[in-house]
């Protein structure tokens, strides 16, 4: 397999997500950031709290890994205790491999519609909050401009 044909790691989930879903996730993030924009340089405690909370948010990778591991564990136990018909490990492993290589697997559209974000999307929000907090010398006027600057 030629590694150059694989999508870049940082954009593979977004590239395999419906553009409308990507846009909805971005709009939700911008809406929340705009609500916080009034706290810019006046309430660093609130912005610090939001930045810390982002460190706890599960991204798509963690969500998929935890769910796949849970399915494999449960199906293995049921396969050993009840019936071999419960063994789903091969199918789940294939989906994980497909996701690792291509950035897509069958549960991904559902996960993205649930609003589960990529690590990049979470980091973009974190960096925008840091801009709002005053961590950088040059800061655009609007949240949208801040976010666009970080996306580049």
- Tens digit of pLDDT for each residue in 111-139? 999 999 999 999 999 999 999 888 988 88
pTM for the full predicted model:
0.86
What is the mean predicted confidence (pLDDT) over 31-52?
83
Give the integer Cα–Cα distance in Å for 60 and 71. 16
The pLDDT of residue 3: 55
Note the pLDDT tens digit of each residue in 20-31.
999 999 999 999
How does the average pLDDT of the chain come out, rounded?
88
Encode pLDDT of 57-90 as tens digits. 999 999 999 999 998 888 888 888 887 777 778 8
Is a pLDDT exceeding 70 seen at residue 40? no
129-136, long-range: CB < 8 A, 24+ apart: 129/33, 129/36, 129/47, 129/50, 129/51, 129/54, 130/51, 132/33, 132/36, 132/37, 132/39, 132/40, 132/41, 132/47, 133/40, 133/41, 133/44, 133/47, 133/48, 133/51, 134/40, 134/41, 134/44
152 or 33, which is more confident: 33
What's the pLDDT at 139? 84
Which one is predicted more confidently, 5 or 52? Answer: 52
Statement: residue 10 has pLDDT above 70: yes
pLDDT at 42: 61
Asked whether residue 93 carries a pLDDT value surpassing 70, the answer given is: yes
């Amino acid at each position: 397999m030629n590694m150059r044909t694989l999508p870049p790691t940082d954009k593979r989930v977004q590239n395999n997500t419906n553009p409308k879903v990507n846009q909805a996730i971005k709009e939700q993030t911008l809406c929340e950031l705009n609500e916080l924009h009034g706290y810019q340089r006046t309430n660093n405690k609130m912005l610090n709290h939001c930045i810390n909370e982002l460190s706890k948010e599960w991204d798509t990778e963690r969500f998929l890994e935890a769910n796949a591991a849970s399915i494999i564990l449960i199906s293995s136990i049921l396969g050993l205790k009840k019936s071999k018909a419960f063994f789903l490990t091969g199918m789940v492993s294939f989906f994980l491999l497909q996701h690792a290589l291509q950035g897509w697997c069958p549960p991904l559209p559902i996960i993205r519609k649930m609003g589960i974000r990529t690590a990049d999307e979470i980091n973009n929000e974190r960096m925008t909050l840091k801009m709002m907090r005053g961590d950088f010398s040059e800061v655009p006027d609007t949240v949208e401009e801040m976010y666009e600057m970080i996306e580049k």
